[in-house]
A and B are shown apart, each in its own frame.
Chain A
């Protein structure tokens, strides 16, 4: 009945580029297309400047798209595992409550649905996925 089910693939998707880079949009479109096509996303991994997407503080002009908000809504509505490299995040000032407290910073600017964790999560995702796709450089 659902023949396409036979071809369901598990994707691990990494994004390296920041919110201003077109790769941030391409990655989101790819991820949406993957789910629309009946595939699964086992993990999203945000590295290098892509960690800025996990900041809740960035404000976009009203007539421009808000890629960080779109990512956040996409991740939340599909209940995806979205891991942000903790080392890349800390050095760029993207901190959740736990890290803000640990490093004695006055504010936290990240939280659900993002998870701060290590590069090992990317390694693990690549090992278990059928396809690992990287966007940005």
Chain B
């Protein structure tokens, strides 16, 4: 997330793909303060403001965790399998964090 925002601030076009347990970051209604953690909600909501509008989420990762796309905080497009491979092909750099 920090890297996406830094890249956006540098005027570099950025997309984000949430996969594996990373999809949990998108889940609505998290009460992070209860476990003394910083909430990522504000950062997530800042993404479109910084021009990071292409958000994708791995459908398989969602399903594995019993989640549906309507439970997500931001409108991330569900993608899976070959779609993900095709998606990654479109970018000059892919960074996994």
Q: Could you tell me how many residues of chain A have their Cβ less than 8 Å away from some Cβ of chain B?
A: 13
Contacts of A132 in B (CB 8 A): 93, 95
Chain B CB within 8 A of A118 CB: yes
Contact, CB under 8 Å: A122 / B96? no
Tell me which of A118, A119, A120, A137 contacts B96 (CB under 8 A). A137
With beta carbons under 8 angstroms apart, the residue of B3, B96, B97 that contacts A123 is B3
Cα A16 to Cα B93 in complex, Å, equals: 17
**What is the minimal beta-carbon distance from B55 to any residue of chain A, in angstroms?**
19
The secondary-structure label for the interface of chain B is loop
Report the number of A-B residue pairs with Cβ-Cβ less than 8 Å: 27
Task: Give the bracket for the number of chain B residues in contact with chain A.
Answer: 10 to 19
Residues of A within 8 A of B (CB): 16, 87, 118-120, 122-124, 126-127, 132, 134, 137
- Assuming A126-B95, A127-B10, A132-B93, what are 20 further A-B pairs, CB within 8 angstroms? A16-B97, A87-B2, A118-B6, A119-B2, A119-B3, A119-B6, A120-B6, A120-B9, A122-B3, A122-B6, A123-B6, A123-B10, A123-B12, A124-B10, A126-B93, A127-B12, A132-B95, A134-B96, A137-B96, A137-B97
